A and B are shown apart, each in its own frame.
Chain A
């Protein structure tokens, strides 16, 4: 594994305009604010947070599927090097081959009117990656076999498949153009546990075999703990903590990360009611609180937190946290 980042967000912000008055500054929602992350080539990078934390928007911005308002995303796979903010039409087309998305809902993501073969072949045809039908078929069969779909499956329509099989079709479609970078947005959230384990094992195997880099977006921390090498925790558009998976789960520093971890229902029936509970809900990004964005729910907030926004600072090797009090609270 190299240590060079394949893709990196530099001070990335994504703003969406709101309807406002004609005069004065234009109001906007800061869905993602000043995010800096580096994803190493060949790694499985997890992004966690509650709904409304901006994790999907960040994932989309890294695919140039959401507008980049400030900052930039840099992509470098050794063959090409792109600044996503300033991509030309031709470059963007090329980038689409190199970066792909796997969706959450395998029922909504596949056209019911196309055979599985056509669904997987479509990206090849649209991008003009193959010269003739025979070449397309060969490529589709090769990728389908990797995702454990057989030739018989390719002739059928999506309705004939279960959720787990459909998700394998979505994965095959995302992989067929030979991408380097994959964003998997809640890709196992809609699946039953028995199937979820199967799809996670498949993603992991494919990642190692093809040397892919994954941005794995999930709200389920136990899933992230099992598959990811590195994790970033988001809250209201900001990264509040980032660390190698083991470090983060064994020694979380940010009060939000701690609360998220303790909110996972334990499998031990005698472990009831010990969890540290968070009050309230994530504030609306149209009206974020001043200072630290987490201060309205933070159990350890002090006056300073209500006025001054903390910045990400080093808390150990590759471990960063954005909290005024992490040092005194970790003693």
Chain B
């Protein structure tokens, strides 16, 4: 496997009327080609904003930290994403090497342009296909994602398709440019479980076939367990735990990850009480000092938690947690 993308010290703030809000705080991770990374967190944890940074899609009031660096490794050499300025330069990350699937498939298609025209349009922008070739490729992709009668669907509008069908068309569109990296932002959240299972299967097949990397953003740990190779857990703009899917789900290290798993209703133990994480996620305007999770944490070990920001410590193998519980290991501070 070869390295696909490196994100180093990504910090992102937004200028708002109420002041400067930190949305992403010193986040680093990397992804290999053909690897699926799950990015987990509650609403407000900064997972979507992080993903959008990879395409530099955040609005004009976004301020990237001076040390932030995102490097995309393409066949013709590395691309420094954050240094891209003009729309022309950014074409490579917006729909070219990186594609994005949104949560709400109804909102991501233009309502008054047919599905087919939208697919052809982006192919003409990002590839060298002629119009008839682009049409052929689009219909082939629609067929590939399991849409029956693709040439009819090609001429239809988004409102004529059901939710599951729209999400398939969205996937077909995102993949037709053969991106190196696919960002899927809650792609199955709006779908019923039976349709969700179909879409997850489809995405797994497509990774195997095209060998691209996927960043799968979701709050559903079950979906993560079924799709991801590795997992990164986010809370209030910071990564708190990283590791392989087995390590993180079977032996969660960070108290927040443990809390998320304990709050989940489990089917194999219907009598187990549901344990909520106490309190609410703090407002980004009032970010807690020290460890951002200490206001809700049940494993606070002392005043350090409110004073010092924990760095990532190795738990075991490829498993890391940013928590003072693990500071002592390997690094006697």
Return the chain B residue nearest A204 by Cβ.
B274
Expressed in whole angstroms, the minimum distance between the Cβ of A288 and any Cβ of chain B is: 15
Once bound together, how far apart are the Cα atoms of A198 and B19, in whole Å? 32
Asked if A223 is at the interface (CB within 8 A of a chain B CB), the reply is yes
A201's partner among B266, B276, B277 (CB-CB below 8 A) is B276
Q: Which residues of A contact B162 (CB under 8 A)?
A: 281
Question: Quick one: which of A207-252 are within 8 Å of B by CB?
Answer: 219-223, 225-226, 245-246, 249
Instruction: Name the one of A193, A225, A266, A273 contacting B263, with C-beta atoms under 8 angstroms.
Output: A193
Are B276 and A194 within 8 A (Cβ)? yes
Tell me if A37 is interfacial: C-beta within 8 Å of chain B.
Answer: no
Distance in Å: Cβ of B272 to nearest Cβ of chain A: 8
* Interface status of A200 (Cβ within 8 A of chain B): yes
Give the Cβ gap from A316 to chain B, nearest Cβ, in Å: 18
B225 contacts A by Cβ under 8 Å: yes
Given contacts A265-B200, A267-B221, contact A221 B193 (CB under 8 A): yes
Question: From residue A254, how far is it (CB to closest CB) to chain B in Å?
Answer: 14
Cβ-defined contact, B270 with A225, below 8 A: yes
Total interface residues on B, CB under 8 Å, equals 42
C-alpha gap A136/B250 in the complex (Å) = 51
Query: 0/1 per residue, A111-132, Cβ < 8 Å to B?
Result: 0000000000000000000000
**Do A269 and B197 touch across chains, with their CB atoms under 8 A apart?**
no
Rounded to whole angstroms, the CA-CA distance of A43 and B217 in the bound complex is 37
Residue B220 at the A interface, CB < 8 A? yes
Among A194, A220, A249, A271, which residue has the most Cβ atoms of chain B within 10 A? A194
The A/B interface has a contact count, at CB < 8 Å, of: 120
Alpha-carbon separation in the docked complex, A273 to B196 (Å): 13
A51 part of interface (Cβ distance < 8 Å): yes
Per-residue contact bits, chain A 241-283, to B (CB 8 Å; 1 contact, 0 not): 0000110010000000001110111111111110101110110
Q: Which of A192, A226, A268 contacts B225 (CB 8 A)?
A: A268
A184-205 vs B, CB cutoff 8 Å, 1 = contact: the mask equals 0000000011111110110000
- Docked-complex contact A193 and B264, CB < 8 angstroms: yes
Chain A contacts for B249, CB-based, 8 A: 267-269
Complex contact B280–A195 (CB within 8 A): yes
- On whether the beta carbons of B192 and A51 are closer than 8 Å, the reply is yes
| B260 with A165: CB separation less than 8 A | no
A265 touches B225 (CB 8 A): yes
Beyond known contacts A193-B264, A196-B263, A267-B225: 11 more, CB 8 A cutoff: A162-B280, A193-B221, A197-B264, A197-B274, A201-B276, A265-B226, A267-B222, A268-B249, A271-B226, A281-B162, A281-B195
25 contacts between A and B (CB under 8 A): A163-B43, A165-B280, A192-B43, A194-B263, A196-B276, A197-B264, A201-B276, A219-B193, A225-B265, A249-B270, A260-B194, A263-B196, A264-B193, A265-B200, A265-B226, A266-B225, A267-B249, A267-B261, A270-B246, A271-B226, A272-B226, A277-B194, A278-B197, A279-B198, A281-B164
Residues of B within 8 A of A (CB): 42-43, 162-165, 192-198, 200-201, 219-223, 225-226, 245-246, 249-250, 259-261, 263-267, 270, 273-277, 280-281
